[in-house]
Amino acid sequence: MKSRAPKPKTVKSAPDFAREQTLLSAGLHQIAGVDEVGRGPLAGPVVAAAVILDPDNLPSGLNDSKTLSAARRDALYLEIMRHAHVAVASVPAAVIDRINIRQATLLAMTRAVNALAVPPDHVLVDGRDVPPLPCTGEALIGGDGKSLSIAAASIIAKVTRDRLMERLSEHDPRYGYASHAGYGTAVHLAALEQYGPSPDHRMSFAPLKNREPQG
């Protein structure tokens, strides 16, 4: 039998500033990247961030927040906050249950864009959907791995939400949010069995449907 050559490994390319540069060259001066964190957890808010980077002062090492260590995310968070226009918005569990996670995510994105101190001329959004915006926008699937502006927004959103969940864990330590950020880990599910859901849980998500919050 002929031996088969090993398949080449797929190397995921790092995000760049090419899309932003094209838009800047077209006369759009303020380009915002938007991303969200927290669509999947059973508890806590969904958080969106909007970031307008300074083309002359791009933080080194920007990438999809999921590819970075917590320490690297924290360091880049400080760099982004220091050199960019940043806004963050969140939508809590009760609203997620009322309008569904997709609509809550779009709402958080819209609020984040509208909260920017400098109005954007164009918005690059991670994902498939463009939320209601005060300007033009486009969706990029896997955008946090393609656009530096979206990657920066993913870092801001991730660090912000993790810190929110850490504070929530301090307020209510029963569920261990600091270790899993509200995702459905074995530890979290065991705590739900023991204590039942709290007002911070998303009651429209399985396996929480038709259960009563304990308060």
pLDDT tens for 10-35 read 446 799 999 999 999 999 999 999 99
- C-alpha 132/C-alpha 63 separation (Å) is 26
Query: Once rounded to an integer, what is the mean pLDDT over residues 100-122?
Result: 98
pTM: 0.91
User: Would you say residue 6 has pLDDT above 70?
Assistant: no
CB atoms within 10 A of CB 65: 25
Contact predicate 113/50, CB 8 Å: yes
Return all residues near 172 (Cβ < 8 A) that are at least 6 apart. Answer: 198, 200
Q: How high is the mean pLDDT of the chain?
A: 93
What's the domain count of the chain?
A: 1
Query: Is the predicted pLDDT of residue 80 greater than 70, yes or no?
Result: yes
CATH code (residue 50): 3.30.420.10
Does the residue 188 lie in any domain? no
How high is the pLDDT of residue 168? 96
List the domain range (segments joined by +) for residue 116. Answer: 18-173
Closest CA to 34 of 146, 110, 95: 110
